[in-house]
Amino acid sequence: MAEIKSLASIREKWTRVTPGRTEDYKL
């Protein structure tokens, strides 16, 4: 489950940089 955790952290990091792209990373 380490991959899912890393993806979640990366997604959270990007949401802070580009909050408008959060919908794209939800997929």
**What pLDDT digit, counting tens, does each position of 2-25 carry?**
788 888 888 777 766 666 666 665
* Residue 14 contacts residue 21 (beta carbons within 8 Å): yes
Question: Hey, is 27 helix, strand or coil?
Answer: coil
Q: How confident is the model at residue 27 (pLDDT cuts 50, 70, 90)?
A: low
Closest CA to 7 of 15, 19, 18: 15
The DSSP output letter for 7 is: H
pLDDT at 21: 64
Which residues fall within 8 angstroms of residue 15, CB to CB, at 6 or more apart? 21, 22, 25
Question: Hey, is 13 helix, strand or coil?
Answer: helix
